[in-house]
Amino acid sequence: MFASRNVRLCTKDCICLFVCPTGATDTESGQIDASKCLDGCRLCVDACPGGAIYLVPKNYPKPQPKHEDVVQTLFALAESKVKTRQLANALGDDHRLARKALDFSLEVLAEDCVREGGYMLPQSAAVKEFLNGLKERYREDPAFPIEAVERLRDLL
């Protein structure tokens, strides 16, 4: 787990600079240097008066099992949101702004359905299976960025 700073909460008290044993927070970018940050050290997290520093876990707990019927109904909704999004994007040019607002809003709604449908954590087994499925389905298509899928498999 390495530390990260929420710059919106940081009140520049710079206690993190004082407590950090490695100088990881001594950066000009406003962020903490993850390569210097000690795994799980959390001295800066506890010392920060603004509550602006938090730890990002490397390993998350296993996702709770999702009930088949919940997943199915959430994906039915996602499908409907995607269909609505396609129609919203096909509205006439007199509705350009409405098109944009509906597109953005429907994207968030559809994403939330698949997120709660078992795809919250990129590190989960469900996502690995998803990536493998993509590789299988699109291996004939030379335009498919297969190297992106392979790199993701290595990283996650």
Partner 1 sequence: MGTLNHGELTVMCTNLQKACEKQLRSEEAALFGRLATYFSEKTEKPGRQATLQEIGLIIDEEIATLYPEANEQADKAQDRGAKRALLWGEKVTRLHKSFLTRLERNPKLLDETPVWVCESCGFLFVGAAPPAVCPICKVPNIKIHKMEVK
Size of site (CB under 8 A) for partner 1: 70
Angstrom distance (rounded) from CA 52 to CA 12: 10
Residues 36-55 interacting with partner 1 (rule: CB under 8 A): none
Angstrom distance (rounded) from CA 137 to CA 90: 28
Shorter beta-carbon distance to partner 1: residue 24 or 117: 117
Block residue for tokens 């390993």:
59
Angstrom distance (rounded) from CA 1 to CA 22: 15
Interface with partner 1 (CB under 8 A), residue from 19, 105, 128, 135: 105
Shorter beta-carbon distance to partner 1: residue 14 or 87: 87
17, amino acid identity? L
The window from 10-18, 19-27, 38-46, 90-98 that contacts partner 1 (CB under 8 A) reads: 90-98
Yes or no: say if 47 and 16 are a contact pair by the CB < 8 Å rule: yes
Among residues 2, 15, 9, 92, the alpha carbon closest in space to that of 46 is found at 15
Shorter beta-carbon distance to partner 1: residue 18 or 101: 101
Residues near partner 1, by CB under 8 A: 4, 8, 34, 56, 66-67, 69-70, 72-92, 94-98, 100-102, 104-117, 119-122, 127, 129-130, 133-134, 137, 143-145, 148-149, 151-152, 155-156
